[in-house]
Structure 1
Amino acid sequence: MDNKRILSGRVALVTGGTRGIGKGISVELARAGATVYVTGRTTRSGGSWPGSLDETVGEIEAAGGRGIGVACDHGDDLQVQELFERINGESGSLDVLVNNAYAPAIASGRSQEAEGAKFWELPIDAWDRPINVGLRSHYVSIVMAIPLLLQSKGLIVNISSAGAYAYFNSVAYGVGKAGIDRMTRDMALELDDRGISIVSIWPGLVGTERVSTNFSPSFASALIHNTRVVASRRAGAAPPDAISGEAATEADLHAITETPLYVGKAAVALAADPDVMTKTGRVFSVVGLAHEYEFTDVDGRRPDAFGFLVNPDAWPPLAKP
């Protein structure tokens, strides 16, 4: 898929775009020609985590695009309202909304599993954080974006996770992601006659700034084993033996890790598809979209970390690669 300037003249908003997946999506949408508004709380570098709005806008401009950074806490509805008022005032339209903003259950950014804690051993805000800036903030942004999206017959992309289907790192994480997928389905039913399409995307194992803090060696080893089983079955070969218990190596993880730009290419493909309305209400894996739209990650691969979770009987139906 050649995405050169195919979104020229479009206006997009990516929430939570200072780093990781949000940054990758912002850069790819802009590379494809869209004017991209990017939100985040970190405006300049030097915070506790790498990444800032200034850096994302800089990468967008380096890719030949136009990015507009807007400081916004998506846990504050007034700030979100002001964001959409600004977009309306400056651009007068919105074609693509990508909901990516997310607050980890534990303030440090480490996962519940990495902390070695059970849900009852965590403070209550371990539930509130990912639900408020995640499921709820996606809902709020969509509600406030609808007047603009009605004009453009636009696209909503909710960044979800295979954690909606299988346990990943915390109870709140899984519930929040499952809620996003159900919200996508139900909103699609109510938006169907308005020409606005809405989908959820499941990225794979993305090489973000937080990945190394969120997965234990045993989880990574199990993940790698499962991906090898799937690859063997697709090749018609015998599956590998049971998990050996050996820790996953850096090379093992690299083989199944995708870049944030890979997720961005998926968003571009959907935004450029004139028939995207036929996909409304569904959940798509990034690798499934990569096969359908014929794009690859930056190194030519199509990583598939979570393909073993795809169940044809699952609901909502997940697009298979």
Structure 2
Amino acid sequence: MTDETKPLGGRIALVAGATRGAGRAIAVQLGAAGATVYVTGRTTRDRVSEVGRTTETIEETAELVTAAGGEGVAVPTDHLEIDQVRALVDRIDRERGRLDILVNDVWGGEHLIKFGDTFWETDLTGGLRMLELGVKTHAITARLAVPLLVRHPGGLVVEVTDGTAEYNTTRFRENLFYDLTKNAPIRMAFGLSKDLKDVGCTAVALTPGWLRSEQMLDHFGVTEENWRDAVEKLPDFASSESPVYAGRAVAALAADPDRARWNGQSLSSGQLAKEYGFTDADGSRPDAWGYIIAKESDPDVSVDDYR
């Protein structure tokens, strides 16, 4: 393979939260670009996390990474457990001696979200659990992994969230705990960028658009092959994207020698697709956040203009 076909050859990546959805696709696309990818999560072939899905495991993700052309390494990790995360980073250091890409995609709190309740009606235990899963895990992982990443200039940290800064900071995400959870990674990337700039590394926040994750497809009772059937129930679903799109966004960003120009910014998969020229798995180029914002001022806007 040439350098052009494997632009991330020799790079070492950690995708924290790679069991399914965007995390899995990001890991696979990094592998397709030649990276060695450590993939973590709580669901394995002999253990299921609180999410309760048995059909996606980190072992399968690692195998998909390898099949795509990289090297996938599955490491079962609960990112709320400091000792487990420290052991993970120590293992990467011992086996590879470096870390070039950290993707902080830990979440797994969809089952806790209840929209429509006021803050004081929201279940406190569930709300705090969201903050643990989507904020505390990111803080622990970044704090323990970044010291390895900064040993070499050019390192990249990607904080995965839901929503751009443009959208999230001016609109309420309907559940205060969820709102806090999804704004925190944007602020983390901004804060990390200040320290990382001095050592030649980069931090960004990245959001997919309306993601056709395994859970979302199940929710609508469709598959990736017939997902457009769900548009009849909810027309805005026409703006959705497959997890591959976010994966290609991260791979393109990691392969860009000038990626430091994005330092501290909030980015979306649709935005980076326009910048780097990649498409979703079906050849389209959706811009879900552009469509969502445009529709607020023009309810008749055509979704076709954002695909």
TM-score above 0.5, yes or no: yes
Change (3 A) 1:276 1:302: same
Shift of 1:54: 1.6
What CA distance in whole angstroms lies between the structure 2 residues aligned with 1:122 and 1:213? 25
Shift of 1:123: 2.5
Q: Which residue of 1 aligns with 2:113?
A: 111
Deviations 1:266-291 (A, max 9, x none): 00111011111111000011100000
In the alignment, is the contact (CA less than 8 A) between 2:33 and 2:69 conserved in 1?
A: no
Helix, strand or coil: the match of 2:44?
coil
180, 189, 207: which is aligned to 1:184? Answer: 189
Deviations 1:120-176 (A, max 9, x none): 333212222222122222122111122211122200000012173433452211112
Helix, strand or coil: the match of 1:112?
coil
What CA distance in whole angstroms lies between the structure 2 residues aligned with 1:199 and 1:129? 25
In the alignment, is the contact (CA less than 8 A) between 2:37 and 2:73 conserved in 1?
A: yes
In the alignment, is the contact (CA less than 8 A) between 1:35 and 1:67 conserved in 2?
A: yes
Aligned-residue RMSD, C-alpha:
2.7
Letter in 1 for 2:263: T
Q: Which residue of 1 aligns with 2:31?
A: 30
> Do structure 1's residue 205 and structure 2's residue 210 form an aligned pair?
yes
Shift of 1:298: 0.9
Helix, strand or coil: the match of 1:281?
coil
42, 60, 63: which is aligned to 2:65? Answer: 60
Q: Which residue of 2 aligns with 1:229?
A: none
Change (3 A) 1:61 1:253: farther
> Do structure 1's residue 303 and structure 2's residue 289 form an aligned pair?
no
In the alignment, is the contact (CA less than 8 A) between 1:161 and 1:203 conserved in 2?
A: yes
In the alignment, is the contact (CA less than 8 A) between 1:84 and 1:144 conserved in 2?
A: yes
Helix, strand or coil: the match of 2:106?
coil
Q: Which residue of 1 aligns with 2:226?
A: none
Shift of 1:194: 1.0
Change (3 A) 1:100 1:184: same
What CA distance in whole angstroms lies between the structure 1 residues aligned with 2:73 and 2:89? 13
216, 239, 257: which is aligned to 1:256? Answer: 239
In the alignment, is the contact (CA less than 8 A) between 2:62 and 2:74 conserved in 1?
A: yes
Q: Which residue of 1 aligns with 2:263?
A: 280
Q: Which residue of 2 aligns with 1:236?
A: none
Unaligned runs of 5+ residues in structure 2 are 221-229, 295-306
Unaligned runs of 5+ residues in structure 1 are 216-246, 312-320
Change (3 A) 1:64 1:20: same
Helix, strand or coil: the match of 1:156?
strand
Helix, strand or coil: the match of 1:201?
strand
Shift of 1:80: 0.8
Change (3 A) 1:22 1:272: same
Q: Which residue of 1 aligns with 2:15?
A: 14
What CA distance in whole angstroms lies between the structure 1 residues aligned with 2:23 and 2:287? 19
What CA distance in whole angstroms lies between the structure 2 residues aligned with 1:3 and 1:176? 37
Letter in 1 for 2:19: T
Helix, strand or coil: the match of 2:123?
coil
Q: Single out whichever of 248-257 and 180-189 deviates more from structure 2.
A: 248-257
Q: How many aligned residue pairs are there?
A: 277
Q: Single out whichever of 264-273 and 143-152 deviates more from structure 2.
A: 143-152
Identity of paired residues, percent? Answer: 39
In the alignment, is the contact (CA less than 8 A) between 2:212 and 2:241 conserved in 1?
A: yes
TM-score by length of structure 1 reads 0.79
What CA distance in whole angstroms lies between the structure 1 residues aligned with 2:4 and 2:251? 7
In the alignment, is the contact (CA less than 8 A) between 1:135 and 1:180 conserved in 2?
A: yes
In the alignment, is the contact (CA less than 8 A) between 2:104 and 2:160 conserved in 1?
A: yes
Letter in 2 for 1:291: K
Q: Which residue of 2 aligns with 1:265?
A: 248
Deviations 1:245-279 (A, max 9, x none): xx951684663221111101000111011111111
TM-score by length of structure 2 reads 0.82
166, 175, 187: which is aligned to 1:170? Answer: 175
What CA distance in whole angstroms lies between the structure 2 residues aligned with 1:32 and 1:252? 34
Q: Which residue of 1 aligns with 2:133?
A: 133
